[in-house]
Amino acid sequence: MKPQCYWQTSRATNTPANCRKRFKLLLSSGIYIYVQRTLTALIAGLIWLSGFTSDAAHTHATLVLSAAVAKPGETITAGVHLQMDPDWHTYWKNPGGSGKATEIKWQLPPGITAGEIQWPLPEKLLDEDLTTYVHRDEVVLLVPLKLAPDLKPGPLDLKAKVSWLECKTQCLPGSTNVAAKLEIGDVTQDSADASLIETWEKKLPRPAEGLNVRASWEKSASGTERPVILEWIAPPSIKDVDFFPYASDNFEVQPAIENRSEAPGQIRLRKLVKKIEGDWPDRISGVLIQKFDGESQGFIVDLAVNSTDGTTAPASSSLPVVMTTAAQSLWRMLLYAFIGGLILNIMPCVLPVIALKILGFVGQAREAPGSVRKLGLLYTTGVFVSFLALAALVIAVKAAGQRAGWGMQFSNPQFIVGLTVLVMLVALNLFGVFEVTLSRRVMGAAGNLASQHGAAGAFFNGVLATVLATPCTAPFLGAALGFAFIQPAAIIVLMFLTIGAGLAAPYVVLSWHPAWLKWLPKPGAWMEKFKIVMGFPMLATAVWLFSLTTTFYGERSWWLGIFLVFVGAAAWVFGAFWQRGSTRRGLAVVILLLLLATGYLWTLEGKLHWRTPMRAAAGALQHAPDGYPWQRWSVEAVNKARAKGRPVIVDFTAKWCLTCNITVKPALERKGVVEKLKQLDAVALVADYTLEPPEIGDELARFGRAGVPLVLVYPRDPGQPPLVLPEPLSPSPAHYSGVILDALTKAAP
């Protein structure tokens, strides 16, 4: 039932129908704001005359603090905890079509300053033609309290007068005085209500960095209503969206919404703006709402509104737009994809395959040009087929409503186990443990294929290069992948093929110009020794892959090492007694099969339990750089640190990300960076993407990234957007530490 108009003096006219009629007349007459101000004054008078307290009303108010003891100079959080009776509600900062926002009037001792109220997300209450924004059951209105550095030790009384409007079938004003004690001391100690405040901090809307929000008028002004279009980037799974506007004296954003989104991850929302007086607004402020699995997320925006000719001032809360559907952006992202694929050739992940290709080029250098070109094209075909498979995987994951990411297969423990075995076989083949012709049945054929110089070897090298490239990223590649993963299927395929073209380009060029291969030495006996040498980088890759399994299996991982011993022994038996032996080859096959069966059943199935990895436990922070106290990342941790005026650095990383561990992490551990963090008293947070937690995936998507690494530096000023650091241009930690230091200097000048 619609709340009755509590300010009416005649019960005969105090009906819902008359209330709606009067609101319609007020809105259409253009004097709504003036009537609202008059009603607000009347409400205040009624509150004073009635002398309501929290005990006499349907809402109970208390004052809670995040700290029982606090040091001078710190900022703590106070909360006004409103608990409403069932079916009653109070109002948000913009109450909507009726109602009144809760007010807090502080009575604080000298040296303590209260900030603005931080409002948790409200509910949108639809009641026929009237829409309001309300808080039901309970809410904690949060307020930062800044303590002066010269406060003397001892107890302090914090007081405030809280007034509100509470509604059910009728609306009543309420007010009360609340108080709490705060001890000023040498060490800050949490209060008994700290967890309550932390819970409600998680319900606050957060800054909209990375959403790339834009607002524009849909058409020229006509009459008193004008449609505005809000566009932003969201995870593909987000479909339920809204916009809760802040109140304005000169215009009103109507509550009705029209979702015109055309592609997953690209939100396009249409709202009507009603002008009350003055010119059309050039900025619109409020909270963007995204719902996922029944949970609402809010993002604060203050947007410049584009005119119909496209001119605008930059929006204060959004980052530069890097992802649009315009053709120019698509061509730019395709260029980024090609350059990123090209740079992958010098990233650590692909180096073992490069060694194999060098060996192959040596063998091809004296062959007929047509044959060399054919092998180059086969290598490219292997790359393209692999990238098509990755694109198909991404499309399938998105179609299932899940988040897709670059290197996502490395969060699958069975994939890592299989790849570890495969790469070890490649290394053993390079060492000469076994050799297999294509006509043989395959026990170690994968390893042999990778070292062959013929058609099968060229194709398989392309496949292996693609697989090993996925845990690495490169400059330009992050932006291109972030763009690709929110596009329709056709664009995803096009982007992945372009990355593959970049990865294969050097070999296509060299194979098409075989004269350029003359600088390579002539084939000879040295090639066998070079082949053995190249086995060591491949073996190092296998060791690295093996180390990743500890994340999924813990101490059980060493049983995978035992299984690799069985596989190695089987490969040796195969090479020494089946391929090169002349007698008792049947016995060799029996021993080989026995080794593989025993290794698989005893170690993988019986001890490792490779199909049932361990559940992730919230234990000690892993993968954090050394030298500084890093903490676990969360949106709440960022907001809490920024509310205290501290700069924040966030390292998005993963155990399987080689770029993260070879370049970014050592750069963050360098002495200059650590000293700068200490100097700024910065909050350092680690977002571990090893198991692809969805909240970190959402955060990466907000900044246009499909995977790690990503480093963000939030300035000391909470109103400033974060600095998004580029991907490392080289593997050198020294170079990237300079990039980090520049960002930290800008964050806290």
Least confident of 21-30, 117-126, 312-321, 549-558: 312-321
pLDDT tens-place string over residues 216-238? 888 877 788 899 999 887 776 67
* pLDDT exceeds cutoff 70 at 95: yes
* pLDDT score, position 192: 92
pLDDT at 358 over 70: no
| pLDDT confidence bin for 630, thresholds 50/70/90 | very high
Residue 25: the pLDDT is 42
CATH 2.60.40.1230 placement within the chain = 214-306
CATH architecture of 214-306: Sandwich (2.60)
Q: List CB contacts of 237: < 8 A, sequence separation 6 or more.
A: 264, 292, 401, 402, 403
pLDDT of residue 11: 32
- Predicted confidence at residue 22, as pLDDT, reads 44
Q: Are strands 67-70 and 251-253 parallel, antiparallel or unpaired?
A: unpaired
- State the average pLDDT for the chain: 79
Per-residue pLDDT tens for 111-165?
999 999 999 999 998 876 788 999 999 999 999 999 999 999 999 999 999 999 9
Give percent of the chain above pLDDT 90: 33
The number of beta carbons lying within 10 Å of the beta carbon of residue 362 is 20
| 358, 350 Cβ separation under 8 angstroms | no
pLDDT of residue 143: 95
Q: For residue range 680-696, list pLDDT tens digits in order.
A: 999 999 999 988 887 88
Dihedral angle, C-alpha 38, 39, 41, 42, nearest 10 °: 120
Average of pLDDT values for 373-397?
Answer: 85
Q: Count CA within 13 A, CB hemisphere, residue 735.
A: 9
Residue-level pLDDT at 738: 92
Model pLDDT, residue 714: 93
pTM summary value: 0.52
Residues in Cβ contact with 58 at an 8 Å cutoff, skipping those fewer than 6 apart:
84, 85, 88, 166, 168, 172, 174
Superfamily of domain 630-747: Glutaredoxin (3.40.30.10)
The residues of the chain that CATH labels 3.40.30.10 are: 630-747
pLDDT in tens, 453-475: 456 767 877 787 777 676 666 66
Q: What is the pLDDT of residue 427?
A: 87
Residue-wise pLDDT for 27-82, tens only, equals: 444 444 445 444 544 544 444 444 344 444 799 999 999 999 999 989 999 999 99
**Coil/strand/helix, residue 64:** strand
Mean pLDDT of 596-623: 81
Strands 295-306 and 206-207, sheet pairing: parallel
Q: Is the pLDDT of residue 487 over 80?
A: no
Proportion of the chain above pLDDT 70, given as a percent: 76
**What CATH class does 11-204 carry?**
mainly beta
CB atoms within 10 A of CB 429: 26
Residues 176-183 have a mean pLDDT of 94
Pairing label, strands 214-217, 295-306: parallel
Residue ranges of the chain that CATH labels 2.60.40.1250: 11-204
- Res. 332: pLDDT tops 70: yes
pLDDT in tens, 488-520: 788 889 999 999 999 888 888 877 776 676 666
